[in-house]
Homo-oligomer: A and B are copies of this chain.
C-alpha cells in the first residue's frame, strides 16, 4: 500500500507545499486508487506522480473547505477527458453533492463514467472494496471527518504436512478445515480443523484525519493502527493559535499517537510559516514521537503487508 502525499500545505498553495491531497495506491490491484481530499491543482500533482487519474476508484473528502475541495471539478472532468470509464464513488460531508453538481452544470460538463456521491451525515461504518471503513467526527469550524481503513484479516495458512500425515489430501475437505470447522474423515474419524490452520493474517489499519483540533476520538480510532496521518498545522510556538482555528500542533498529535500506540505517525497540513524554518518544525516532530514522518509534497511511503513503513525511491 503506497501513500502518495500530493499536497501537504495548509490553507493556500505555496511554492513547495500545495493544498491538501493524499492518494493511497493498493498494490494488490483489486482496489483502485483512493484519494483523500482534493485541493486545487491536485490533478496537476498527478501529472508529476506515478499515478493516473482514471485509476482513481474512490474519493474521500474530509471537509468542505476550499483547500480540500477546489480541485474536484477539474479532476472529475479530466478523468473523463483522459478516458476514465470505470465507476467512481465520492464520500464527503453534507453539501458536497450540491457543490459538485453545480460546478459541473455551470460549466456544461458531462462525465462519461458512472459517478456516485455519498453524503456522510455523521459517524458511520461501511464496507468498501474489501475494507471496513469507519468515519468519525473531528473538531473544526465546519464538519470534518477522520477515516479509519481496516483491511479484512486473511485466513491463516493450512498445515498441509500435518494433514498429509493424517491421510487428508487436497480436496473438498480443505475449505472446511481452513475455516476451522470439525470435519469427518473417510475413516470415520473426526478432525478439529482449527488445529491445522495458522493464525489469521491481520489486515493493515490506517487512519487518515481531516483538519481538526486535537480530539480523544482519534486515539480510540487509531488504537494500534499501522499508520496515522494527522494534520499538525502548527508547532508548539502557536499552541493557543492552533486551538482558536480548530487545528492541532505537533505536541497535540504526538500525545494522541502515543496513547493510541500507533506504529507510525505522519504529520501533514503544515503551515507555510514554517517554510523558512523547516528544521525547527522537524526537530520538534522528531523529539515528540519515535516513529514520525513529516510529509512533503510528492513523498511516497510504502506500507508492507507486515506493517513496515519505508520511503519509496
Contact = CB atoms under 8 A, between A and B. Distances in A.
A141 B108 contact: yes
Contact of A98 (B12, B95, B106): B106
A70 interface: yes
Contacts of A43: 12-13, 40
Highest count of chain B CB atoms <10 Å: which of A41, A82, A98: A41
Q: Is the interface of A mostly helix, strand, loop or mixed?
A: loop
B102 A98 contact: yes
Oligomeric state, in copies = 2
Interface in A206-247: none
Contacts of A74: 13, 19, 40, 66, 70
Nearest to A82: B12
The list of the 8 closest CB pairs from A to B, nearest first, reads A99-B106, A41-B41, A40-B74, A66-B107, A70-B74, A102-B102, A12-B78, A66-B77
Interface of A: 11-15, 18-19, 40-41, 43-44, 47-48, 64-66, 69-71, 73-74, 77-78, 81-82, 95-96, 98-99, 102-103, 106-109, 141-142
Given A40-B74, A66-B107, A102-B102, 17 more contacts: A12-B43, A12-B77, A13-B44, A13-B74, A13-B78, A40-B40, A40-B70, A40-B71, A64-B108, A65-B107, A66-B74, A66-B77, A69-B107, A70-B103, A96-B106, A99-B107, A108-B141
